[in-house]
Structure 1
């Protein structure tokens, strides 16, 4: 997934093993790929290594080929035993140059051409949504947690979300909120495909989402904020966060934090000891005069707290007065 920008001071992309063993033939029926290449109708029951090979050959390289509308050599994406997405970038730039929506012309031919271009983008977006749903199906099989399947499925989702975002950006300048089939920006946000749902309590994550959560925790993220990433951002953005180390102030510990709350910065009122400006200071805590504050508020005033210190005794007096 090194086709995404590299964050400053970030770690290297997640290693995606190259497990594809069946070339995708452009021009064949994308949806019949398992049948055409001997995977059969019951591909969900395949062993995990075989299922990972199917997912990569079909949903990764097949998606790239269908999106670009041209055959690709999947061996060009192989670097040792891993996949590199960098060969996708020049191919994608060529595709973008050919499918950019031009400014509206004055002739009927110009208008028809723009409509055709928008229709192509819409069909591509619908295709990517269907592939993402297929990837979700791979995430639900009984062997989905077995390596390297979670990594392969995650790479498919990140690829599709990235290409989907490219489509929206390509068409955004020519789309009004009320225009269909393109949704408004608000509807687009609601349609974002996030790895996890923001619900109270422990939730069961898909293996590909759990993989990102594990990596975030490995990078030092608090459990609460790691989960926040998965519930707030789509797969591509969440994956970007996994490449960032999370650093906190010295002395803070997130060991007691949970998925629902970060307590690292909370103070225990029963054991908290305030720091003093001078070593050996024996000053006592000062409380706000609540009776005075309450009386001022009841009279319709705005209370202010005033602290008065004595240079002789070192004591501090606290009182309330009405703001004028």
Structure 2
């Protein structure tokens, strides 16, 4: 994930996420993607299987039931589910957010292949695309009044919020699968991209929200519950002070947590028992 900031001599380095997709995101509606491709996320309670309509956050939080992912009515393998989730959540988010600026074949620019033939997600082109997207969003059509444009912006904001809410529900859903197909690294990559898009939205649209940050532009952080243990474990192994870890994790976004985790601990040579 090339766009994630890291300090000099990072302890984790570039976040390497396998590129799993075997097909391009189809460019149609985000919420309808699973149904179009024969996938269903459901909750099994005893002998009953209840479809998760829109991947509801309510059922995703239920703890006394089993989460099931099926493809064409059959239980999906972890590998197939991981491929599906990457295509849907990652590239579907890009497609839905960027709108006409995104073309399906642009997905092919988001991976690199190493000498061994392994494919890895790459965001080398992401920043350039986001800049072009921001420029496009900032344009007010000549035949549109400021009031009309504000209504358009608010509608787009609400649509974007629904996409983020659905992604958060799916992340919560997969967290309760014993052998989850959406691990901490993949979740961190998704959170980082989502936060970049939400920050860009806020930068462009903030004057339309009366200077107030819309709640959804700061709440796309459900993935912290998954990425935090992953980064905490690394920082403990690097001999970070436990109180420093607690302070950083309590106040930082996923991307800031990632940056800190790549730093050398400031007091690694001191007695960690005295604070």
TM-score normalised according to structure 2 size: 0.72
Measure the CA separation in 1 of the matches of 2:222 and 2:172: 12
> In structure 2, what is the equivalent of residue 36 of structure 1?
36
Measure the CA separation in 2 of the matches of 1:62 and 1:183: 22
Measure the CA separation in 2 of the matches of 1:128 and 1:37: 21
Partner SS, residue 209 of structure 2? coil
Asked if 1:241 is matched to 2:260, the reply is: yes
Measure the CA separation in 1 of the matches of 2:149 and 2:202: 18
Structure 2 gaps, min length 5: 42-67, 114-118
Deviations 1:155-205 (A, max 9, x none): 21222222222222222244325x7xx648xx976x463666xxxxxxxx5
Change (3 A) 1:173 1:241: farther
Between Structure 1 and Structure 2, the one with more helix by share is 2
Change (3 A) 1:122 1:223: same
Contact 1:2–1:13 under 8 Å retained in 2:
yes
> In structure 2, what is the equivalent of residue 116 of structure 1?
152
Measure the CA separation in 2 of the matches of 1:172 and 1:10: 34
Shift of residue 97 of structure 1?
0.4
Cα RMSD (Å): 3.1
Contact 1:20–1:54 under 8 Å retained in 2:
yes
Contact 1:49–1:149 under 8 Å retained in 2:
no
Q: Which of the two has higher C-alpha Rg?
A: 1
Structure 1 gaps, min length 5: 197-204, 255-262, 266-324
Partner SS, residue 43 of structure 1? strand
Contact 2:168–2:222 under 8 Å retained in 1:
no
> In structure 1, what is the equivalent of residue 193 of structure 2?
159
TM-score normalised according to structure 1 size: 0.62
Change (3 A) 1:40 1:193: closer
Aligned residue runs from structure 1 range 279-294, under 5 A: none
> In structure 2, what is the equivalent of residue 57 of structure 1?
87
Measure the CA separation in 2 of the matches of 1:244 and 1:96: 31
Match of 1:94 among 112, 122, 132: 132
Change (3 A) 1:149 1:83: same
> In structure 1, what is the equivalent of residue 50 of structure 2?
none
Shift of residue 40 of structure 1?
4.1
Shift of residue 228 of structure 1?
2.9
Contact 1:43–1:51 under 8 Å retained in 2:
yes
Q: How many residues in Structure 1 have an aligned counterpart in Structure 2?
A: 235
Measure the CA separation in 2 of the matches of 1:21 and 1:125: 28
Contact 1:217–1:223 under 8 Å retained in 2:
yes
Higher relative contact order (CA 8 A, sep 6+): 2
Contact 2:164–2:220 under 8 Å retained in 1:
no
